[in-house]
Amino acid sequence: MSVLIPGETCWRREPADRCAFLIDNEAYFTALYEAFQKARRSILILGWSFDPRTRMFPDGYDGPDDPDEVGHVLLRLARERPDLDIRILIWKSSLPIAATQEFFPHKARKWFEGSRVRFRLDDQVPFGASHHQKVVVVDDRLAFCGGGDISVDRWDTPGHLDIDLRRIMPDQEYHDPRHEVMMMVDGAAARALGDHFRERWQVGCDGEVMTPPEDAGGDPWPDHVPAHLTQLDVGVARTRPAWRGQPEADELLRLALAAIAGAKETIYLENQYFTSPVITEALARRLHEPDGPEVVLISTGFSPSWFDKLAMDNARGAMVWRLRVADVFHRFRALYPRTPAGSTIIVHSKTSFFDDRLARVGSANLNNRSFGFDSEIELAVEAHSDEHRIILGAMRDRLVGHFLGYTGDAVAKARAEHGGSLVRAIDALNREGRLREIDPARQTPLSEFVAAYHLGDPASPADSMRPWRRRQRLFEEARTLHARPPTTT
Protein backbone atom coordinates (compact mmCIF):
# COMPACT_ATOMS: atom_id res chain seq x y z
CA MET A 1 0.00 0.00 0.00
CA SER A 2 1.44 3.36 -1.03
CA VAL A 3 0.45 6.65 0.53
CA LEU A 4 2.09 8.64 -2.31
CA ILE A 5 -0.64 9.19 -4.89
CA PRO A 6 0.09 11.76 -7.65
CA GLY A 7 -2.67 14.34 -7.79
CA GLU A 8 -3.78 13.53 -4.26
CA THR A 9 -1.07 13.27 -1.63
CA CYS A 10 1.78 14.36 -3.90
CA TRP A 11 2.32 16.40 -7.03
CA ARG A 12 4.59 13.82 -8.66
CA ARG A 13 6.13 10.49 -7.74
CA GLU A 14 9.42 9.93 -9.52
CA PRO A 15 12.22 7.34 -9.28
CA ALA A 16 15.62 8.09 -7.80
CA ASP A 17 18.74 5.96 -7.84
CA ARG A 18 19.96 7.43 -4.54
CA CYS A 19 18.62 9.28 -1.53
CA ALA A 20 20.51 10.62 1.50
CA PHE A 21 19.55 12.46 4.69
CA LEU A 22 21.81 15.37 5.65
CA ILE A 23 21.57 16.06 9.37
CA ASP A 24 22.47 19.65 10.26
CA ASN A 25 24.02 22.25 8.01
CA GLU A 26 27.65 21.25 8.35
CA ALA A 27 26.65 18.20 6.31
CA TYR A 28 24.37 20.18 4.00
CA PHE A 29 26.77 23.03 3.20
CA THR A 30 29.66 20.59 2.62
CA ALA A 31 27.58 18.50 0.22
CA LEU A 32 26.28 21.63 -1.48
CA TYR A 33 29.79 22.98 -2.04
CA GLU A 34 30.97 19.74 -3.63
CA ALA A 35 27.90 19.55 -5.86
CA PHE A 36 28.52 23.14 -6.99
CA GLN A 37 32.06 22.23 -8.04
CA LYS A 38 30.72 19.38 -10.17
CA ALA A 39 27.98 21.44 -11.87
CA ARG A 40 28.18 21.48 -15.68
CA ARG A 41 24.95 23.10 -16.87
CA SER A 42 22.92 24.74 -14.10
CA ILE A 43 22.64 25.64 -10.42
CA LEU A 44 19.11 26.61 -9.36
CA ILE A 45 18.40 27.94 -5.85
CA LEU A 46 14.99 28.57 -4.28
CA GLY A 47 14.73 30.04 -0.80
CA TRP A 48 12.82 31.94 1.84
CA SER A 49 16.04 33.73 2.73
CA PHE A 50 19.49 33.97 1.17
CA ASP A 51 22.64 35.71 2.34
CA PRO A 52 25.69 35.65 0.03
CA ARG A 53 27.94 36.12 3.08
CA THR A 54 27.04 32.61 4.32
CA ARG A 55 30.21 30.68 5.14
CA MET A 56 30.20 27.14 3.80
CA PHE A 57 33.20 26.13 5.94
CA PRO A 58 33.28 28.53 8.91
CA ASP A 59 36.49 28.45 10.94
CA GLY A 60 35.78 30.69 13.93
CA TYR A 61 36.95 33.86 12.17
CA ASP A 62 34.73 35.91 9.92
CA GLY A 63 36.73 38.42 7.95
CA PRO A 64 35.76 40.45 4.90
CA ASP A 65 35.42 38.59 1.60
CA ASP A 66 36.09 35.08 2.86
CA PRO A 67 36.51 32.87 -0.22
CA ASP A 68 34.13 30.25 1.17
CA GLU A 69 31.21 32.70 1.32
CA VAL A 70 28.55 31.24 -0.94
CA GLY A 71 28.26 34.48 -2.93
CA HIS A 72 31.96 34.36 -3.83
CA VAL A 73 31.74 30.65 -4.63
CA LEU A 74 28.92 31.26 -7.12
CA LEU A 75 30.60 34.31 -8.66
CA ARG A 76 33.82 32.34 -9.18
CA LEU A 77 31.94 29.49 -10.84
CA ALA A 78 30.11 31.94 -13.11
CA ARG A 79 33.43 33.45 -14.22
CA GLU A 80 35.17 30.14 -14.77
CA ARG A 81 32.32 28.33 -16.54
CA PRO A 82 30.57 30.45 -19.18
CA ASP A 83 28.10 27.65 -19.96
CA LEU A 84 26.91 27.35 -16.35
CA ASP A 85 23.45 28.86 -15.78
CA ILE A 86 23.22 30.04 -12.14
CA ARG A 87 19.85 31.37 -10.96
CA ILE A 88 18.66 32.31 -7.48
CA LEU A 89 14.98 32.99 -6.75
CA ILE A 90 14.25 34.21 -3.23
CA TRP A 91 11.10 35.50 -1.55
CA LYS A 92 10.94 39.29 -1.49
CA SER A 93 10.46 39.52 2.25
CA SER A 94 8.51 42.28 3.95
CA LEU A 95 10.53 45.10 5.47
CA PRO A 96 10.01 44.06 9.12
CA ILE A 97 11.40 40.59 8.36
CA ALA A 98 14.17 41.99 6.13
CA ALA A 99 15.19 44.34 8.94
CA THR A 100 15.89 41.36 11.20
CA GLN A 101 18.26 40.01 8.52
CA GLU A 102 20.23 43.24 7.90
CA PHE A 103 18.01 43.70 4.83
CA PHE A 104 19.21 40.53 3.19
CA PRO A 105 18.24 39.04 0.80
CA HIS A 106 17.42 42.47 -0.69
CA LYS A 107 21.06 43.56 -0.51
CA ALA A 108 22.12 40.38 -2.30
CA ARG A 109 21.14 41.93 -5.62
CA LYS A 110 24.22 44.17 -5.49
CA TRP A 111 26.49 41.18 -4.97
CA PHE A 112 25.57 39.77 -8.34
CA GLU A 113 25.15 42.97 -10.41
CA GLY A 114 27.17 42.78 -13.61
CA SER A 115 27.80 39.06 -13.18
CA ARG A 116 26.34 36.03 -14.91
CA VAL A 117 24.56 34.99 -11.73
CA ARG A 118 20.87 35.82 -12.14
CA PHE A 119 19.39 36.82 -8.79
CA ARG A 120 15.69 37.67 -8.46
CA LEU A 121 13.32 38.49 -5.62
CA ASP A 122 9.88 36.92 -5.95
CA ASP A 123 6.87 38.81 -4.57
CA GLN A 124 4.19 36.74 -6.30
CA VAL A 125 2.34 35.66 -3.16
CA PRO A 126 -0.81 36.88 -1.45
CA PHE A 127 -0.47 39.83 0.90
CA GLY A 128 1.09 38.60 4.14
CA ALA A 129 2.19 35.25 2.70
CA SER A 130 5.71 34.06 1.88
CA HIS A 131 7.58 31.77 -0.46
CA HIS A 132 8.93 29.37 2.11
CA GLN A 133 10.39 26.65 -0.16
CA LYS A 134 14.06 25.66 0.15
CA VAL A 135 15.40 23.79 -2.90
CA VAL A 136 18.70 23.55 -4.76
CA VAL A 137 18.98 21.70 -8.10
CA VAL A 138 22.25 20.96 -9.90
CA ASP A 139 22.15 20.02 -13.61
CA ASP A 140 18.67 18.53 -13.13
CA ARG A 141 20.63 15.48 -11.87
CA LEU A 142 20.86 16.23 -8.15
CA ALA A 143 18.52 18.10 -5.81
CA PHE A 144 18.39 19.16 -2.18
CA CYS A 145 15.14 19.87 -0.35
CA GLY A 146 14.34 20.50 3.31
CA GLY A 147 14.09 23.13 6.00
CA GLY A 148 17.44 24.89 5.63
CA ASP A 149 18.05 28.27 4.05
CA ILE A 150 21.48 29.43 2.93
CA SER A 151 21.96 32.13 5.53
CA VAL A 152 24.52 33.31 8.08
CA ASP A 153 22.83 31.98 11.23
CA ARG A 154 22.15 28.43 10.05
CA TRP A 155 25.42 26.46 10.28
CA ASP A 156 25.82 23.89 13.05
CA THR A 157 26.96 20.32 13.70
CA PRO A 158 24.98 17.41 15.18
CA GLY A 159 26.91 18.00 18.40
CA HIS A 160 25.08 21.32 18.94
CA LEU A 161 27.87 22.44 21.26
CA ASP A 162 27.21 25.00 23.99
CA ILE A 163 30.06 27.10 22.60
CA ASP A 164 31.17 26.68 19.00
CA LEU A 165 33.27 29.50 17.57
CA ARG A 166 32.39 28.34 14.06
CA ARG A 167 28.82 29.59 14.56
CA ILE A 168 30.09 33.10 13.86
CA MET A 169 28.16 35.69 11.86
CA PRO A 170 29.39 38.70 9.85
CA ASP A 171 28.77 41.05 12.79
CA GLN A 172 31.17 38.87 14.85
CA GLU A 173 28.31 37.65 17.05
CA TYR A 174 27.58 33.95 17.54
CA HIS A 175 24.23 32.39 16.82
CA ASP A 176 22.46 29.73 18.88
CA PRO A 177 22.72 25.97 18.22
CA ARG A 178 20.39 25.04 15.40
CA HIS A 179 19.04 21.77 14.05
CA GLU A 180 18.21 21.26 10.36
CA VAL A 181 17.55 18.30 8.07
CA MET A 182 17.80 18.18 4.27
CA MET A 183 17.13 15.35 1.84
CA MET A 184 19.28 14.81 -1.24
CA VAL A 185 18.02 12.84 -4.28
CA ASP A 186 19.07 12.21 -7.86
CA GLY A 187 17.48 10.91 -11.05
CA ALA A 188 13.99 11.80 -12.19
CA ALA A 189 13.14 13.03 -8.68
CA ALA A 190 15.81 15.73 -9.05
CA ARG A 191 14.46 16.66 -12.49
CA ALA A 192 11.00 17.11 -10.96
CA LEU A 193 12.41 19.75 -8.60
CA GLY A 194 14.10 21.36 -11.60
CA ASP A 195 10.70 21.55 -13.28
CA HIS A 196 9.29 23.10 -10.13
CA PHE A 197 11.99 25.77 -10.13
CA ARG A 198 11.29 26.62 -13.77
CA GLU A 199 7.59 26.98 -13.03
CA ARG A 200 8.35 29.28 -10.11
CA TRP A 201 10.79 31.32 -12.22
CA GLN A 202 8.20 31.87 -14.96
CA VAL A 203 5.57 33.08 -12.48
CA GLY A 204 7.99 35.17 -10.42
CA CYS A 205 9.94 36.70 -13.32
CA ASP A 206 7.28 38.24 -15.57
CA GLY A 207 6.55 35.13 -17.59
CA GLU A 208 10.14 34.38 -18.60
CA VAL A 209 10.22 30.78 -19.82
CA MET A 210 13.13 28.55 -18.83
CA THR A 211 14.03 25.42 -20.74
CA PRO A 212 15.55 22.37 -19.03
CA PRO A 213 19.35 22.21 -19.32
CA GLU A 214 20.93 19.99 -21.94
CA ASP A 215 22.24 16.80 -20.47
CA ALA A 216 26.00 17.18 -20.11
CA GLY A 217 26.60 13.89 -18.34
CA GLY A 218 28.61 13.71 -15.16
CA ASP A 219 27.47 12.96 -11.64
CA PRO A 220 27.18 15.90 -9.22
CA TRP A 221 26.48 13.61 -6.25
CA PRO A 222 29.07 14.46 -3.54
CA ASP A 223 31.71 11.73 -3.35
CA HIS A 224 31.88 11.78 0.44
CA VAL A 225 28.13 11.21 1.01
CA PRO A 226 26.93 7.60 0.96
CA ALA A 227 23.42 6.93 -0.25
CA HIS A 228 21.13 5.86 2.56
CA LEU A 229 18.47 4.48 0.21
CA THR A 230 18.79 3.25 -3.39
CA GLN A 231 16.36 2.45 -6.19
CA LEU A 232 13.22 4.01 -4.79
CA ASP A 233 10.33 6.32 -5.64
CA VAL A 234 10.24 9.86 -4.25
CA GLY A 235 7.06 11.85 -3.77
CA VAL A 236 7.11 15.63 -4.26
CA ALA A 237 4.33 17.40 -2.35
CA ARG A 238 3.50 21.11 -2.36
CA THR A 239 1.43 23.83 -0.82
CA ARG A 240 0.41 26.60 -3.20
CA PRO A 241 -2.44 28.97 -2.35
CA ALA A 242 -5.20 29.62 -4.85
CA TRP A 243 -4.34 33.15 -5.99
CA ARG A 244 -4.44 35.17 -9.21
CA GLY A 245 -5.56 32.28 -11.33
CA GLN A 246 -3.16 29.75 -9.89
CA PRO A 247 -4.96 26.61 -8.76
CA GLU A 248 -4.54 25.54 -5.17
CA ALA A 249 -2.09 22.74 -4.39
CA ASP A 250 -2.77 21.10 -1.02
CA GLU A 251 -0.87 17.82 -1.40
CA LEU A 252 1.13 18.53 1.77
CA LEU A 253 -1.95 18.63 3.97
CA ARG A 254 -3.43 15.54 2.33
CA LEU A 255 -0.15 13.66 2.73
CA ALA A 256 0.18 14.67 6.38
CA LEU A 257 -3.33 13.45 7.20
CA ALA A 258 -2.89 10.20 5.25
CA ALA A 259 0.43 9.53 6.98
CA ILE A 260 -1.03 10.13 10.43
CA ALA A 261 -4.04 7.94 9.67
CA GLY A 262 -1.86 5.10 8.37
CA ALA A 263 0.75 4.97 11.16
CA LYS A 264 0.63 1.82 13.29
CA GLU A 265 3.38 2.18 15.90
CA THR A 266 5.21 5.52 15.94
CA ILE A 267 4.71 9.06 14.67
CA TYR A 268 7.90 11.10 15.07
CA LEU A 269 7.70 14.82 14.28
CA GLU A 270 10.45 17.45 14.25
CA ASN A 271 9.10 20.90 13.57
CA GLN A 272 9.66 24.54 14.42
CA TYR A 273 5.96 25.38 14.78
CA PHE A 274 2.99 23.30 15.84
CA THR A 275 -0.26 25.28 15.69
CA SER A 276 -2.53 23.48 13.21
CA PRO A 277 -5.89 22.39 14.69
CA VAL A 278 -6.34 20.08 11.69
CA ILE A 279 -3.13 18.17 12.43
CA THR A 280 -3.80 18.30 16.18
CA GLU A 281 -7.23 16.70 15.79
CA ALA A 282 -5.80 14.01 13.50
CA LEU A 283 -3.20 13.13 16.15
CA ALA A 284 -5.77 13.29 18.96
CA ARG A 285 -7.92 10.82 17.07
CA ARG A 286 -5.02 8.34 16.95
CA LEU A 287 -4.13 8.86 20.62
CA HIS A 288 -7.72 7.97 21.57
CA GLU A 289 -7.32 4.53 19.95
CA PRO A 290 -6.34 1.77 22.42
CA ASP A 291 -3.85 0.31 19.93
CA GLY A 292 -2.91 3.56 18.19
CA PRO A 293 0.62 4.81 17.57
CA GLU A 294 2.90 6.73 19.90
CA VAL A 295 3.37 10.41 19.02
CA VAL A 296 6.66 12.20 19.72
CA LEU A 297 6.93 15.91 18.88
CA ILE A 298 10.34 17.66 19.03
CA SER A 299 10.14 21.45 18.74
CA THR A 300 11.95 24.55 19.98
CA GLY A 301 11.49 25.57 23.60
CA PHE A 302 10.40 29.04 22.55
CA SER A 303 10.50 31.12 19.39
CA PRO A 304 13.38 33.59 18.99
CA SER A 305 11.25 36.58 17.90
CA TRP A 306 8.61 38.38 19.97
CA PHE A 307 6.05 38.09 17.17
CA ASP A 308 6.44 34.32 16.87
CA LYS A 309 6.32 33.97 20.64
CA LEU A 310 2.97 35.73 20.58
CA ALA A 311 1.53 34.19 17.40
CA MET A 312 3.02 30.69 17.41
CA ASP A 313 4.09 29.70 20.92
CA ASN A 314 0.77 30.50 22.54
CA ALA A 315 -1.18 28.64 19.86
CA ARG A 316 1.20 25.71 20.20
CA GLY A 317 0.46 25.61 23.92
CA ALA A 318 -3.23 25.12 23.18
CA MET A 319 -2.47 22.31 20.73
CA VAL A 320 -0.15 20.54 23.19
CA TRP A 321 -2.79 20.74 25.93
CA ARG A 322 -5.35 19.26 23.53
CA LEU A 323 -3.10 16.27 22.84
CA ARG A 324 -2.24 15.74 26.49
CA VAL A 325 -5.95 15.59 27.27
CA ALA A 326 -6.39 13.08 24.43
CA ASP A 327 -3.44 10.99 25.63
CA VAL A 328 -5.46 8.59 27.79
CA PHE A 329 -3.02 5.71 27.07
CA HIS A 330 0.16 7.74 27.82
CA ARG A 331 1.67 7.58 24.34
CA PHE A 332 2.39 11.29 23.70
CA ARG A 333 5.48 13.39 24.33
CA ALA A 334 6.04 17.04 23.36
CA LEU A 335 9.70 17.88 23.97
CA TYR A 336 12.31 20.52 23.30
CA PRO A 337 16.09 19.94 23.21
CA ARG A 338 18.82 21.68 25.18
CA THR A 339 22.60 21.49 25.19
CA PRO A 340 24.33 19.89 28.22
CA ALA A 341 24.75 23.36 29.76
CA GLY A 342 21.09 24.20 29.22
CA SER A 343 21.18 26.37 26.09
CA THR A 344 18.16 26.14 23.80
CA ILE A 345 18.67 24.30 20.52
CA ILE A 346 16.56 25.89 17.79
CA VAL A 347 14.68 23.11 16.03
CA HIS A 348 14.16 24.43 12.52
CA SER A 349 13.86 21.09 10.71
CA LYS A 350 10.56 20.02 9.20
CA THR A 351 11.00 16.26 9.29
CA SER A 352 8.71 13.36 10.12
CA PHE A 353 8.85 9.56 10.29
CA PHE A 354 5.80 7.32 10.35
CA ASP A 355 6.73 3.90 11.72
CA ASP A 356 9.74 2.76 9.71
CA ARG A 357 7.80 3.02 6.45
CA LEU A 358 7.54 6.71 5.50
CA ALA A 359 9.94 9.64 5.86
CA ARG A 360 9.17 13.24 4.91
CA VAL A 361 11.62 16.16 4.74
CA GLY A 362 10.66 19.61 3.51
CA SER A 363 9.95 23.23 4.26
CA ALA A 364 6.47 23.02 5.79
CA ASN A 365 5.77 23.77 9.41
CA LEU A 366 2.86 22.15 11.23
CA ASN A 367 0.91 25.38 11.21
CA ASN A 368 -1.99 26.81 9.25
CA ARG A 369 0.17 28.93 6.93
CA SER A 370 2.12 25.98 5.64
CA PHE A 371 -0.99 24.11 4.54
CA GLY A 372 -2.71 26.81 2.50
CA PHE A 373 -1.19 30.30 2.66
CA ASP A 374 2.58 30.14 2.10
CA SER A 375 4.27 28.17 -0.68
CA GLU A 376 5.92 24.98 0.58
CA ILE A 377 7.54 21.84 -0.83
CA GLU A 378 8.80 18.54 0.54
CA LEU A 379 10.11 15.14 -0.45
CA ALA A 380 8.70 11.86 0.86
CA VAL A 381 10.09 8.34 0.58
CA GLU A 382 8.49 5.01 1.45
CA ALA A 383 10.14 1.76 2.47
CA HIS A 384 9.05 -1.17 0.31
CA SER A 385 11.66 -3.65 1.52
CA ASP A 386 12.99 -4.86 4.85
CA GLU A 387 16.32 -3.18 4.09
CA HIS A 388 14.68 0.20 3.53
CA ARG A 389 12.64 -0.20 6.71
CA ILE A 390 15.77 -0.87 8.73
CA ILE A 391 17.41 2.24 7.28
CA LEU A 392 14.44 4.53 7.93
CA GLY A 393 14.12 3.26 11.48
CA ALA A 394 17.84 3.78 12.06
CA MET A 395 17.66 7.33 10.71
CA ARG A 396 14.81 8.19 13.07
CA ASP A 397 16.71 6.67 15.99
CA ARG A 398 19.80 8.66 15.02
CA LEU A 399 17.81 11.90 15.09
CA VAL A 400 16.37 11.09 18.51
CA GLY A 401 19.75 10.03 19.84
CA HIS A 402 21.61 13.12 18.75
CA PHE A 403 19.33 15.24 20.96
CA LEU A 404 19.98 12.96 23.93
CA GLY A 405 23.73 12.62 23.46
CA TYR A 406 23.46 8.98 22.36
CA THR A 407 24.00 7.09 19.14
CA GLY A 408 21.11 5.79 17.10
CA ASP A 409 22.15 2.26 18.07
CA ALA A 410 21.71 3.17 21.74
CA VAL A 411 18.19 4.38 21.01
CA ALA A 412 17.41 1.19 19.06
CA LYS A 413 18.71 -0.89 21.98
CA ALA A 414 16.56 1.06 24.45
CA ARG A 415 13.51 0.60 22.24
CA ALA A 416 14.12 -3.14 22.09
CA GLU A 417 14.40 -3.24 25.89
CA HIS A 418 11.06 -1.45 26.20
CA GLY A 419 8.96 -3.47 23.78
CA GLY A 420 9.66 -1.26 20.76
CA SER A 421 8.38 1.89 22.46
CA LEU A 422 10.14 5.09 21.38
CA VAL A 423 8.46 7.04 24.18
CA ARG A 424 9.78 4.73 26.89
CA ALA A 425 13.21 4.59 25.24
CA ILE A 426 13.41 8.39 25.40
CA ASP A 427 12.29 8.37 29.02
CA ALA A 428 14.98 5.82 29.87
CA LEU A 429 17.83 7.61 28.07
CA ASN A 430 16.89 11.14 29.07
CA ARG A 431 18.75 10.96 32.39
CA GLU A 432 20.45 14.35 31.93
CA GLY A 433 17.20 16.08 30.97
CA ARG A 434 18.45 17.19 27.57
CA LEU A 435 14.92 16.75 26.24
CA ARG A 436 12.44 18.76 28.30
CA GLU A 437 8.66 18.69 28.28
CA ILE A 438 7.12 21.62 26.45
CA ASP A 439 5.27 23.52 29.16
CA PRO A 440 2.55 25.77 27.72
CA ALA A 441 2.97 29.16 29.31
CA ARG A 442 0.18 30.72 31.32
CA GLN A 443 -1.65 33.00 28.93
CA THR A 444 -2.56 36.64 29.30
CA PRO A 445 -5.86 37.88 27.89
CA LEU A 446 -3.98 39.15 24.81
CA SER A 447 -2.09 35.90 24.18
CA GLU A 448 -5.25 33.87 24.74
CA PHE A 449 -7.06 35.97 22.13
CA VAL A 450 -4.17 35.61 19.65
CA ALA A 451 -4.04 31.85 20.18
CA ALA A 452 -7.80 31.37 19.94
CA TYR A 453 -8.03 33.10 16.56
CA HIS A 454 -4.58 32.07 15.26
CA LEU A 455 -3.63 35.65 14.48
CA GLY A 456 -0.57 35.71 12.24
CA ASP A 457 -1.28 32.14 11.13
CA PRO A 458 -3.95 32.22 8.40
CA ALA A 459 -4.91 29.09 6.51
CA SER A 460 -5.58 30.65 3.07
CA PRO A 461 -5.68 34.01 1.27
CA ALA A 462 -9.42 34.34 1.93
CA ASP A 463 -9.00 33.33 5.56
CA SER A 464 -6.28 35.95 6.09
CA MET A 465 -8.89 38.68 5.69
CA ARG A 466 -11.42 37.10 8.08
CA PRO A 467 -9.58 36.16 11.29
CA TRP A 468 -12.79 36.43 13.33
CA ARG A 469 -14.10 33.32 11.53
CA ARG A 470 -10.84 31.39 11.66
CA ARG A 471 -11.32 29.40 14.86
CA GLN A 472 -14.70 27.98 13.91
CA ARG A 473 -13.69 27.31 10.31
CA LEU A 474 -10.47 25.49 11.25
CA PHE A 475 -12.20 23.08 13.60
CA GLU A 476 -15.00 22.50 11.09
CA GLU A 477 -12.33 21.66 8.50
CA ALA A 478 -10.67 19.30 10.97
CA ARG A 479 -13.90 17.42 11.58
CA THR A 480 -14.66 17.21 7.85
CA LEU A 481 -11.22 15.99 6.87
CA HIS A 482 -11.03 13.36 9.58
CA ALA A 483 -14.38 11.92 8.51
CA ARG A 484 -12.74 10.80 5.27
CA PRO A 485 -11.09 7.37 4.99
CA PRO A 486 -7.24 7.25 4.79
CA THR A 487 -5.75 7.84 1.35
CA THR A 488 -3.72 4.86 0.06
CA THR A 489 -3.34 2.92 -3.14
Distance CA 270, CA 254 (A): 18
pLDDT by residue for the chain (489 residues), tens digit each?
799 999 999 999 999 999 999 999 999 999 999 999 999 999 999 999 999 999 999 998 888 789 999 999 999 999 999 999 999 999 998 777 777 777 778 888 999 999 999 999 999 999 999 999 999 999 999 999 999 999 999 999 999 999 999 999 999 999 999 999 999 999 999 999 999 999 999 999 999 999 999 998 999 999 999 999 999 999 999 999 999 999 999 999 999 999 999 999 999 999 999 999 999 999 999 999 999 999 999 999 987 776 676 678 888 998 999 999 999 999 999 999 999 999 999 999 999 999 999 999 999 999 999 999 999 999 999 999 999 999 999 999 999 999 999 999 999 999 999 999 999 999 999 999 999 999 876 666 666 666 666 667 888 888 766 665 555 566 566 666 555 555 555
- pLDDT given at position 97: 74
Distance CA 128, CA 105 (A): 17
**Residue 394, Cβ density class (10 Å: 0-12 exposed, 13-18 middle, ≥19 buried):** middle
Sequence-distant (≥ 6) Cβ neighbours of residue 357 within 8 angstroms: 382, 383, 389, 392
Degrees to nearest 5, angle at CA 142 with 192 and 47: 75
Distance CA 63, CA 170 (A): 8
Distance CA 474, CA 283 (A): 15
Domains and CATH numbers, the chain: 16-230 (3.30.870.10), 245-482 (3.30.870.10)
Q: Is the peptide bond before 6 cis (omega within 30 degrees of 0)?
A: no
